[in-house]
């Protein structure tokens, strides 16, 4: 039986800035065989036809900064309670569940930016989720797994464990050789890349504008990861950190907070990708954190850095910095709301087309998958979504699940909301799961 499919819709956004009206995509064996207007593409007679009537066809969306192992506030009342009450074994199932929520919203590829637990780095567990999806045992998006190298007393440590709590062995690493060993261990665990942090952030016990490691330490991490041909993603909140990232030759710089003209010019000249995570700085998130009872000092920090984040976003875009979409979704902002990030890009200076490119072609290139993903053109992997309406006239429509009509990964339909009974991936009765610490 032929696996050939022909997908039609009202329009196609190819991911690299082009729009095609009355488009046809011919798919075979999980790849795109042909893409173009109905007048220019021959549809083989044996192809199964799928008509996404009235829809815009787009590449599957890519979020390059998520934390699937964090606890979604749709699953738990209190992320802090959940972190200390749930075993890593159960947490792995939640990570899969969170990935499936994102897939149902049109995100066919996610890069997980790591998440420590009271028992350690959670790298092997996340690799198992990735591999179970790749093996076809469970349905989910394509995952790239990063895991963290954590210095003593730094942002990534204090974000994970309170100061007074005992640490598991090897939880932190200091100095170039300990950090090289940690990188090697994580790579042995099967991760796709390394995440680390050069500055403070929003966590109790640290402030955003402090250094978190020395240049020598960052150089060691990057050198070691690159020796294994693995990329390095770096949490960075300040100009000193931006300079350190450029000096070390990191692959992606995560978050946007403080910057100045000189650091932006250096990042732009270096060609490093920057992942904005503006959603995590939005009023939406701050308001939710207030409702969830986050400590007032953290709320105050969030409010104080917000204007700098938005200013840096505009300045970096205008300064020619390469920007790829990433949200930092974890417990808040929660899984499934990633497309709100794109609305913020548009509100702070991007065109809707640029925002879509940030989540398709540029995101794929930023995480090293540009040869296979990110655009709808012959030869690429057939990750395709069909969206009701025109996201170029209203980028916010990507936020409503009802508008995500079809989600295909590798040529296979995972989500079909055009059917009388919608086909989803996560649960036979969407919304019927329990918030288990409220039972
Ligand atoms: Zn993050």
- Which of 70-74, 192-196, 302-306, 353-357 shows the lowest mean pLDDT across its residues? 70-74
The reply to whether 248 falls in a domain is yes
With a cut of 70, say whether residue 2 has pLDDT above it. Answer: no
Nearest to 241 by CA among 282, 272, 204: 272
How far apart are the CA of 141 and the centre of ligand 1, in A?
Answer: 19
Pair 253, 381 in one domain: no
Pair 41, 126 in one domain: no
Orientation of helix 296-318 relative to helix 283-291, angle to 10°: 170
Tell me what pLDDT residue 154 has.
94
**DSSP code string of 356-405:** HHHTTHHHHHHTT-TTTSSS-STTSB--EEEEES-TTT-GGGGG-GGGEE
Nearest to 102 by CA among 415, 389, 431: 415
Nearest to 49 by CA among 24, 31, 32: 24
Q: Which two tokens stand for residue 260?
A: 């100045």
Query: Is the bond into 290 cis (omega within 30 degrees of 0)?
Result: no
With a cut of 70, say whether residue 316 has pLDDT above it. Answer: yes
pLDDT higher at 433 or 135 = 135
With a cut of 80, say whether residue 73 has pLDDT above it. Answer: no
Percent of the chain residues past pLDDT 70, beyond the cut: 95
3-state DSSP assignment of residue 29: coil
- Which of 66-75, 315-324, 367-376 shows the lowest mean pLDDT across its residues? 66-75
Pair 306, 195 in one domain: yes
Tell me what pLDDT residue 161 has.
86
Ion ligand 1 neighbours (CB, 5 A) are: 113, 328
Tell me what pLDDT residue 75 has.
59
Nearest to 13 by CA among 368, 397, 310: 397
Alpha-carbon gap, residue 171 to 152, rounded angstroms:
9
How far apart are the CA of 12 and the centre of ligand 1, in A?
Answer: 32
The reply to whether 424 falls in a domain is no
How far apart are the CA of 337 and the centre of ligand 1, in A?
Answer: 15
How far apart are the CA of 233 and the centre of ligand 1, in A?
Answer: 10
Pair 173, 242 in one domain: yes
- Which of 5-14, 34-43, 235-244, 426-435 shows the lowest mean pLDDT across its residues? 426-435
**DSSP code string of 47-75:** SEEEEEEEEEEEEPEEEEEE-TTSPPTTT
Pair 51, 172 in one domain: no
How far apart are the CA of 71 and the centre of ligand 1, in A?
Answer: 13
Pair 212, 65 in one domain: yes
For CA atoms 352, 356, 358, 361, the dihedral sign is negative
Nearest to 232 by CA among 144, 317, 315: 144
Which CATH number belongs to the domain containing residue 32 in this structure?
2.30.40.10
Pair 290, 396 in one domain: no
* Overall average pLDDT of the 203-226 stretch: 94
- The residue segments making up the domain with residue 394 are 5-59+374-416
* Overall average pLDDT of the 410-420 stretch: 94
Across the chain, mean pLDDT equals 93
How far apart are the CA of 353 and the centre of ligand 1, in A?
Answer: 25
Alpha-carbon dihedral angle through residues 130, 132, 135, 139, given to the nearest 10 degrees: -90
How far apart are the CA of 107 and the centre of ligand 1, in A?
Answer: 17
Number of domains making up the chain:
2
- Which of 18-22, 29-33, 210-214, 435-439 shows the lowest mean pLDDT across its residues? 435-439
Report the predicted TM-score, pTM, of the whole model to 2 decimal places: 0.96
How far apart are the CA of 200 and the centre of ligand 1, in A?
Answer: 12
Pair 266, 391 in one domain: no
Q: Which two tokens stand for residue 165?
A: 């709590």
Pair 181, 257 in one domain: yes
Alpha-carbon gap, residue 315 to 176, rounded angstroms:
33
Beta carbons within 10 angstroms of residue 271's beta carbon: 10
How far apart are the CA of 242 and the centre of ligand 1, in A?
Answer: 17
* Residue 198 near residue 234, CB atoms below 8 Å: yes
* Separation of CA 68 from chain center: 9
Tell me what pLDDT residue 421 has.
87
Pair 46, 130 in one domain: no
pLDDT, tens only, 156-179: 999 888 888 889 888 999 999 999
pLDDT tier at 331 (50, 70, 90 boundaries)?
confident
Tell me what pLDDT residue 119 has.
85
Number of residues assigned to the chain: 439
* Residue 210 near residue 252, CB atoms below 8 Å: no
How far apart are the CA of 115 and the centre of ligand 1, in A?
Answer: 8
pLDDT higher at 435 or 115 = 115
The reply to whether 432 falls in a domain is no
Q: Which of 366, 382, 403 is a domain's end point?
A: 366
pLDDT tier at 417 (50, 70, 90 boundaries)?
very high
Pair 392, 334 in one domain: no
The reply to whether 428 falls in a domain is no
With a cut of 60, say whether residue 61 has pLDDT above it. Answer: yes
Tell me what pLDDT residue 79 has.
63
pLDDT higher at 180 or 438 = 180
Pair 138, 208 in one domain: yes
- Which of 78-87, 88-97, 259-268, 412-421 shows the lowest mean pLDDT across its residues? 78-87
* Overall average pLDDT of the 367-393 stretch: 98
How far apart are the CA of 67 and the centre of ligand 1, in A?
Answer: 6
Alpha-carbon gap, residue 68 to 111, rounded angstroms:
9
With a cut of 70, say whether residue 353 has pLDDT above it. Answer: yes
How far apart are the CA of 66 and the centre of ligand 1, in A?
Answer: 6
């Amino acid at each position: 039986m032929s696996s050939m499919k022909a997908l039609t819709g009202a329009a196609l956004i190819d991911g690299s800035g082009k729009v095609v009206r009355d488009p046809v995509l011919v798919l075979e064996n999980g790849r795109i065989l042909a893409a173009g207007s109905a007048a220019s593409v021959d549809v083989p007679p044996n192809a199964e036809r799928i008509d996404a009537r009235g829809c815009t066809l787009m590449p599957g969306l890519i979020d390059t900064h998520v934390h699937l192992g964090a606890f979604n506030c749709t699953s738990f009342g209190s992320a802090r309670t959940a972190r200390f009450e749930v075993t890593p074994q159960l947490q792995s199932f939640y990570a899969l569940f969170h990935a499936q929520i994102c897939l149902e919203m049109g995100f066919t590829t996610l890069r997980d930016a790591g998440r420590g637990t009271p028992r350690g780095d959670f790298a092997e567990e996340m690799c198992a989720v990735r591999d179970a999806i790749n093996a076809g045992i469970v349905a989910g998006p394509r995952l790239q797994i990063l895991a963290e190298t954590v210095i003593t007393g730094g942002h990534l440590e204090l974000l994970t464990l309170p100061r007074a709590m005992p640490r598991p062995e090897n939880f932190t690493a200091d100095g170039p050789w300990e950090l090289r060993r940690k990188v090697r261990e994580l790579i042995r665990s099967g991760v796709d890349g390394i995440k680390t942090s050069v500055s403070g952030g929003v966590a109790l016990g640290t402030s955003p504008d402090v250094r978190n490691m020395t240049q020598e330490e960052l150089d060691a991490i990057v050198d070691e990861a690159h020796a294994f041909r693995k990329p390095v993603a770096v949490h960075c909140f300040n100009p000193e950190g931006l300079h350190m990232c450029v000096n070390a030759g990191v692959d992606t710089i995560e978050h946007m907070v403080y910057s100045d003209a000189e650091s932006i010019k250096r990042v732009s000249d270096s060609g490093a990708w920057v992942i904005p995570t503006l959603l995590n700085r939005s009023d939406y998130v701050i308001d939710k954190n207030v409702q969830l009872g986050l400590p007032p000092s953290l709320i105050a920090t969030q409010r104080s850095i917000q204007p700098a984040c938005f200013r840096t976003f505009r300045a970096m875009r205008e300064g020619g910095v390469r920007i790829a979409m990433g949200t930092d979704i974890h417990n808040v902002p929660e899984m499934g709301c990633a497309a709100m990030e794109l609305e913020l890009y548009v509100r702070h200076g991007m065109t809707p087309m640029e925002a879509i490119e940030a989540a398709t072609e540029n995101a794929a290139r930023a995480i090293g998958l540009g040869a296979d993903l990110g655009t709808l053109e012959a030869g690429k992997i057939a990750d395709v979504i069909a969206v009701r309406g025109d996201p170029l006239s209203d980028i916010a429509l990507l936020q409503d699940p009802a508008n995500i009509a079809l989600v295909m990964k590798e040529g296979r339909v995972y989500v079909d909301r055009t059917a009388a009974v919608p086909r989803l991936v996560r649960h036979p009765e969407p919304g019927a799961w329990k918030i288990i610490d409220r039972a």
